[in-house]
Structure 1
Amino acid sequence: MTRQQVDHLVIGAGFAGLCAAIKLREAGEGDYVVLERGDDVGGTWRDNTYPGAACDVPSQLYSFSFALNPDWSMSFSPQPEIQAYLGRVARERGVLDRFRFGTTVEEARWDEESQRWLVDTDRGSWAARTLISGAGALVEPRLPDIAGIEGFQGEVFHSARWNHDVDLTGKRVAVIGTGASAIQIVPEIAKVVGRLDLYQRTAPYVLPRNDRRYSRAERLAFRHVPGLQRLMRESIYWAREAYVPGFTWQPKLALPAKKLALRNLEKAVTDPGLRARLTPDFEIGCKRILISNTYYPALTQDHVELVTDPIQKVTGHSVITADGVEREVDVLVVATGFHTTDQPIAHHVVGRDGRSLAETWADTGMQAYKGTTVHGFPNYFQVVGPNTGLGHSSMVLMIEAQVGYVVDALRTMDLHGYATVEPRQDEQDAWNDDLHRRMQRTVWSTGGCASWYLDDRGRNTTLWPRSTWTFRQLLARFDPAAYDVTATRPAPEGISA
């Protein structure tokens, strides 16, 4: 088999993959390729095109620190603007020629003899010194396990795979799920559907969406007044960090946010019965906090029904709940999230001992060293890896920190003549023991809810239990002392590990 040789392979073209491509180029690591199964950059923001799709992190934070965007139209960016921003950054930074779109990674296997990653795709094979995964967590839709759903005769699709060919005007539509996507979808489609049934398992906390349109004068000031936009970004950053103590060690500090969410509900929903069903029964922050000004009002409309009885089964043309009520449906929209604690990429990456990441994590749950490297997987770096997710701020902050760590690892390897770097098991264990010790006192563990943050064992393998500032400090420099290394050549005189 003929393999194309390259120094570094990057998987994924979302924020993580694009950041890696840009920073590799800036560091002089010019021999790299980015493999992407889609037809453009964007990742999550390319794929999620459902009605009302928008970011719930302020625009000023939801962008690269090295590529601020003075032209955001809103304080919370809609999906088309984020996708356009990523495309523009890719073009302006001159990295698009390194992307191979329409290319699906089938297997990436470490070869000990050649000390290379051997990567097979549906469009050829590669060999690379390092493998950088930017595949992300919100990638593969999670479908609900509901009896009979495969036999539904109407249109059915996941929110992340929205079928724009289906006209919902006047239709009877059922939406399953009340998470971040659903609360954006429901108000939009309620404007056109004939009937809307929303199936809720758990009521979320919903804060007001303090969104507004930036004026032309503000956009001009962001573009031409030195430091203004960066100052705004910093102020938003620290305001968001103020949420951390309430999430991670003293839930009582989140009481003002809880009261605000409940006031938001009380103001929008006057029916006491409906309000009771929309009132969460857990501590705020335990599940993802949502923001919307239109979700609650949409549920008060006559043609919209909130259904809280569990779904028993789906027939060819209806949904039947445990109370025996049958509701006829033309279109079924599944807004049930993604595979986050069992990331799909883990099944395709095979390490030194012939086991995949998924097999390696089968007993322990997802874990890595600094959320980025994994024992048994030499020269493998995972951006948005285990326990790097956030419940309060922008994932772009974490992505930039991880990519910086990866680039410094490559610099260290070149400087010292290392062929491979692999985190020591004891260092990885110590990192995760400390992380999960801290996790025990967080609201995600004590708040009284089940969430997509937790794996099947109830272990939070998704979120970071400290501040983003701390994470950035811990990953500021690559730490070779925590790694087993092999050398290809003696280190230059005067240089030691």
Structure 2
Amino acid sequence: MSLKDNNKKLSAAIIGTGFSGICAAIKLKKELDIDAQLFELSKDVGGTWYSNTYPGAECDIPSHLYSLSFELNDSNGQAEIHEYLRNVAKKHNLYEKTKFQTEIIHAEWKEKEQKWFLKWRNTNNHQETNSAYYDVLFSGLGPLRIPNIPKEFSKFQGPIVHTAQWDATIDYTNKRIAIIGSGATAVQVIPQIRKIASHVYSYQRTRAWTVLRDQFSYPRIIKFIFRWLPFLMRFYRIFLFLQHEVYYVAFGYYKSLIARSFQKLMEKVLAWRLKRVGRSDLLSTLTPDYPIGCKRVAKSEIYVEALAKPNVTVIPCGVSDIKGRTLIDKEGNETEVDILILATGFDTQGFTGNLDIYGRNKTLLDEKWRKEFPKTYKTVTVHGYPNFFSLLAASSALGHNTVVAQAEIQVDYSIQCLKHMIKNNLGALEPKASAQERFSKELQKSFNGTVWKGGCNSWYLNDAGEVYGLWSGTIISFYWALRKPDFRDFIEYKKTDGINLSM
């Protein structure tokens, strides 16, 4: 009897339909013949690539890397990537398996039933609720979901727009616009918004390392070859992947000669770009005072040039107060604007945002992870949360390569766990506390000497200064760590068995 034949009663729920959720649904069907139930808060699939529609939103790594390995693609812009994900979902019949505009309001592990109890409601009608039990729960929420909206900006008496909640109904034409933030989102939106604004004021508390993108316009003949000879496109993808793996040297060994030489080169490139547009005076304002990679490196060939335009003013400090529509920066300068755009990122520290996930003993995962380092076992499973698989959450981001590959690795790891459960007639599986503790300590220790401990403040760090958002090595090392589960590190429960809390 095959695993598929032995698995007719196993059910799975997937929260989120971004890259990780879509990948999980496809592989559950392909590997185990499980038709997972997907839950999506929005009107369509896509996750981040559906929600973020601000001007200039696009992939900042080579587009050939930013697709699932079994569905190759070369999309770049937000609309293109979203359309790619829609096509993948249609091809694998995921739309009919997805409850759209549905918010999970409660997820709790029930020990007696050895199942996850999920309760949800319709986002348009909160009185319309429903619930069900599932054997397995996948969280494909991703860290870039809940906008970080600092309360101090609520005093602004004019239109306020967060980039993750872009309001296209507002007329930005010929307006004085303040943009708060200097991260990857600001790097993308400023060059576009300054084209229609009368003036843009870029408030930068921290200078950002901005390097040229690895994006190219491919001749028609190359596109033709890739379309009809897909194995060549796969080889090209492998080349790009290995090239980006090499970039890790600059981050993992940032005090090395290679890394220091790379940073000097980037400083020279920045100076050259500013000199070319006649704004060398901005060099000291835009050159970061921390090692490259300590914060997320942004990529753009037009951002630095946009800051040099006559209708853009760089304000190298944050906002200290707001009076009406006047922003007062920390140097006491006052600037009146019409519209305030917040490129202030996301609430990443809890990873579950506004979703309540309760494990054994009704322990709330978000509360647990906000109070301490978010411990996992191999970044996917969590002690105290049986049959729960977390995708692209704690310790899963990257600073040098594509997270899509990491999502696939995590899904493959989860599938191996489920195959083990089915083969051995298990009702529940979770990592031992000792295994999780060992993994978490080793992971934290592995960040010593890397650029992410280089002294800057970034979203990679929690309030205690621990690197909680990143994997410490290459994707190859990530694959090696997750290539095969060691079930000696797991607590296994036969079906109908109660949970032995002493184990």
Provide the TM-score with structure 2 as the length reference: 0.92
Aligned-pair CA distance for 1:326: 1.4
Aligned-pair CA distance for 1:166: 0.9
Equivalent residue for 1:495? none
Aligned-pair CA distance for 1:260: 3.2
- Please state whether the residue corresponding to 1:80 is helix, strand or coil: helix
Aligned partner (choices 381, 400, 414) of residue 373 of structure 1 = 381
Aligned-pair CA distance for 1:189: 0.9
Alpha-carbon separation, structure 1, partners of 2:158 and 2:371: 40
Alpha-carbon separation, structure 2, partners of 1:119 and 1:293: 46
Aligned partner (choices 155, 159, 174) of residue 155 of structure 1 = 159
Aligned partner (choices 379, 396, 404) of residue 388 of structure 1 = 396
Equivalent residue for 2:225? 221
Q: Are 2:465 and 1:458 equivalent residues in the alignment? A: yes
- Equivalent pair of 1:8/1:130 in contact (CA under 8 Å): yes
Q: Mind listing any 5+ residue stretches in structure 1 that lack a counterpart?
A: 491-497
Greater CA deviation, 459-468 or 256-265?
256-265
Aligned partner (choices 238, 261, 272) of residue 267 of structure 1 = 272
Aligned partner (choices 440, 463, 479) of residue 486 of structure 2 = 479
Q: Are 2:148 and 1:136 equivalent residues in the alignment? A: no
- Equivalent pair of 2:62/2:214 in contact (CA under 8 Å): no
- Equivalent pair of 1:6/1:127 in contact (CA under 8 Å): no
- Please state whether the residue corresponding to 2:441 is helix, strand or coil: helix
Which amino acid is the alignment partner of residue 50 of structure 1? Answer: Y
- Equivalent pair of 2:10/2:34 in contact (CA under 8 Å): no
Alignment of 1:153-302 (within 5 A): 153-252=157-256, 253-270=258-275, 271-302=279-310
Greater CA deviation, 244-253 or 45-54?
244-253
- Equivalent pair of 2:147/2:345 in contact (CA under 8 Å): yes
Alpha-carbon separation, structure 1, partners of 2:368 and 2:299: 37
Alpha-carbon separation, structure 1, partners of 2:353 and 2:110: 18
Greater CA deviation, 434-443 or 219-228?
219-228
Alpha-carbon separation, structure 1, partners of 2:91 and 2:134: 26
Aligned-pair CA distance for 1:302: 1.7
- RMSD of aligned residue pairs (Cα, Å): 1.7
Aligned partner (choices 323, 338, 351) of residue 346 of structure 2 = 338
Which amino acid is the alignment partner of residue 109 of structure 1? Answer: E
The number of residue pairs the alignment matches comes to 478
Which amino acid is the alignment partner of residue 83 of structure 2? Answer: A
Alpha-carbon separation, structure 1, partners of 2:108 and 2:230: 48
Greater CA deviation, 303-312 or 35-44?
303-312
Alpha-carbon separation, structure 2, partners of 1:362 and 1:220: 49
- Please state whether the residue corresponding to 1:481 is helix, strand or coil: helix
Q: Which stretches of structure 1, 4 residues or more, deviate above 4 A after TM superposition?
A: none
- Please state whether the residue corresponding to 2:53 is helix, strand or coil: coil
Equivalent residue for 2:475? 468
Alpha-carbon separation, structure 2, partners of 1:47 and 1:257: 35
Equivalent residue for 1:430? 438
Aligned-pair CA distance for 1:226: 4.7
Aligned-pair CA distance for 1:257: 3.1
Equivalent residue for 2:3? none
- Please state whether the residue corresponding to 2:389 is helix, strand or coil: strand
Equivalent residue for 1:41? 45
Alpha-carbon separation, structure 2, partners of 1:52 and 1:231: 29
Q: Are 2:96 and 1:97 equivalent residues in the alignment? A: yes
Aligned-pair CA distance for 1:454: 0.2
Q: 1:6 to 1:36 in 2, by over 3 A?
A: farther
Q: 1:219 to 1:365 in 2, by over 3 A?
A: same
Alpha-carbon separation, structure 1, partners of 2:482 and 2:203: 42
Alpha-carbon separation, structure 2, partners of 1:449 and 1:362: 20
Q: Are 2:18 and 1:14 equivalent residues in the alignment? A: yes
- Equivalent pair of 1:319/1:327 in contact (CA under 8 Å): yes
Which amino acid is the alignment partner of residue 370 of structure 1? Answer: K
C-alpha distance after superposition, 1:107-149 (max 9, x if no partner):
1011111111111111411211111100001111111242xx2
Q: Are 2:327 and 1:305 equivalent residues in the alignment? A: no
Alpha-carbon separation, structure 2, partners of 1:248 and 1:79: 30
- Equivalent pair of 1:141/1:160 in contact (CA under 8 Å): yes
Which amino acid is the alignment partner of residue 388 of structure 1? Answer: S
Alpha-carbon separation, structure 1, partners of 2:81 and 2:470: 23
Equivalent residue for 2:125? none
Aligned-pair CA distance for 1:254: 2.1
Aligned-pair CA distance for 1:489: 7.9
- Equivalent pair of 2:413/2:483 in contact (CA under 8 Å): yes
- Equivalent pair of 1:208/1:264 in contact (CA under 8 Å): no
Aligned partner (choices 354, 361, 368) of residue 369 of structure 2 = 361
- Please state whether the residue corresponding to 1:9 is helix, strand or coil: strand
- Equivalent pair of 1:39/1:101 in contact (CA under 8 Å): yes
Equivalent residue for 1:66? 70
Aligned-pair CA distance for 1:316: 2.0
- Please state whether the residue corresponding to 1:432 is helix, strand or coil: helix
Q: Mind listing any 5+ residue stretches in structure 2 that lack a counterpart?
A: 1-8, 122-128, 498-503
- Please state whether the residue corresponding to 1:46 is helix, strand or coil: helix
Provide the TM-score with structure 1 as the length reference: 0.93
